[in-house]
Amino acid sequence: MGKAYTLDKKAKCGQCKNPIKEGDIFTIIYADDGSGKIEHLLCDNCEVDDMIQEYRNTGIVSSKLSMEAAMAEVHLVEFKGDSLHRLRADARHFLLKYKKDLLELVEGNKKIGDAIQKFEEKHWLPYIKKYWNDATMRGHEAKIGDMKAMMWGSAGRVLITLEKGKYDLTMIFSDYEGQTTPNGGQQGIHAPVSIALDMIETATKAEKIKFEVEEKVKLAGL
C-alpha cells in the first residue's frame, strides 16, 4: 500500500510559489522516470492554467477541463454571469480569464452529448443494455475497427470507454430496464473534441458491437 502524503508546513506551488495550506486543492507532480519521486506541488490555479495551455496547444480536453466547462455553462450561459458573485474569488477569476476557451469547450461538450445520444439510441438501448443485464461478469471488451471498447458497471450505472491510441472517451448509461429513452452522457475524456466525436460516430455507425467477457477490464479503463 502506498504511503500517505503529508503536506509540509512550508509547502509552496512549484510554479507560482504561493503557499499551499491544509485544505487547499493541489496536485502532486511526480518525476517522469517512474521512480515515484515528487518533483513539486501544483496549486489548483496553476494546474488549471496548465490544462488551458495544453488545450490551446494540442486541442486535448481532459475530464477535469470538461467539468470546468460544465460549471462555466451554468454561470456564463444559463445565468449569463449573474451568479458569478456567489463564487470564490479564484473561481470567478478563472471563469472570466478563460471565458472564450470555456465557452468553446461548452459547445464541444454539447456536440459530444448529442453524439452519445445517437450511440445510445442505436446500440445501448436496443441490445447492449440487455446483454449487460444478462451478464454475470462486470468486465467486457469489444473491437470496433481500430478502436477498443471497454465496458464495466456497478450500482445501476454502466461505463463504456472507447479507446484509440492515446485518446479515450468514456460514456455512462443506466441499466434500468424500464428506461426506454436516452439519458446517458459523457463521464470522462482525454482527446480533442474532433477525435472524440469521430470515435463515437465510428462506434455508432457499426452494424453491431459484440462485447465479450474480459476480466482485465476494471472501471471501463478509467
Structural domain spans, the chain: 10-50, 117-221
Specify whether the CB–CB gap between 195 and 164 falls below 8 A.
yes
Give me the pLDDT at residue 2, please: 52
Give me the pLDDT at residue 1, please: 44
Could you read off the pLDDT tens digit of each residue along the chain, which spans 222 residues? 456 678 888 899 988 898 999 888 888 888 888 788 888 898 887 888 888 999 999 999 999 999 999 999 999 999 999 999 998 887 888 899 999 999 999 999 999 999 999 999 999 999 999 999 999 999 999 999 999 999 999 989 999 999 999 999 999 999 998 888 999 999 999 999 999 999 999 999 999 999 999 988 876 544
Q: What's the full length of the chain, in residues?
A: 222
Give me the pLDDT at residue 4, please: 67
Rounded Cα gap, residues 132 and 139, in angstroms? 10
110 SS3 class: helix
Instruction: Say which DSSP state 8 is in.
Output: -
Give me the pLDDT at residue 219, please: 67
Rounded Cα gap, residues 144 and 80, in angstroms? 41
Strand residues in 44-166 grouped as ranges (E): 60-62, 140-144, 147-154, 157-164
Largest Cα span, the chain: 58
Cell for 44? 489548483
Q: Which residues is 168 bridged to in the sheet?
A: 163, 190
Give me the pLDDT at residue 43, please: 87
State which amino acid sits at residue 41: L
Give me the pLDDT at residue 81, please: 92
First CA to last CA across the chain, in angstroms? Answer: 20
